[in-house]
Amino acid sequence: MMEIDEKLLSGVYREIYRAEGPKVLEDLFQIFRGSTVNFPLHMNDKTQAKLYVQTHPQQDAKNLASLLGYNVRTIRTWRKSGPDQPEV
């Protein structure tokens, strides 16, 4: 394990170090070293989230929005469009 001085770490590495500790930081560094990593805005896959919304019509749009990480307007749009209809 490499020795890590928190004061010398750059932005995102410092955040990971504080949140997850030196072991996780080192593992991530070894795996993604030299790579540019972009995280999607939403954790859930859009197609799967839309399907979930359409197969759970009894659930409140506000609760689904909170659960899936999309806004209520998007949830309502997905509800209105059928599974084979293109999105607006």
- 22: part of which helix (H) or strand (E)? helix 22-32
Residues 56-82 pLDDT 10s: 999 999 999 999 999 999 999 999 987
Q: What pLDDT, on the 0 to 100 scale, is given for residue 1?
A: 73
Residue 87 lies in a domain: no
Domain hosting 17: range is: 1-39
Q: What is the pTM of this model?
A: 0.62
Q: Which of 39, 38, 63 is nearest to 52 (CA)?
A: 63
Q: Does one domain contain both 18 and 2?
A: yes
Interval 32-49 mean pLDDT: 91
Contact at 8 Å (CB) between 68 and 43?
A: no
Q: Does one domain contain both 35 and 56?
A: no
Residue 7 lies in a domain: yes
Task: Please give the share of the chain, as a percent, with pLDDT higher than 70.
Answer: 93
pLDDT band at 85 (very low <50, low <70, confident <90, very high): low
Contact at 8 Å (CB) between 88 and 77?
A: yes
Q: Does one domain contain both 29 and 13?
A: yes
Token representation of residue 19: 């949140």
Q: Does one domain contain both 35 and 2?
A: yes
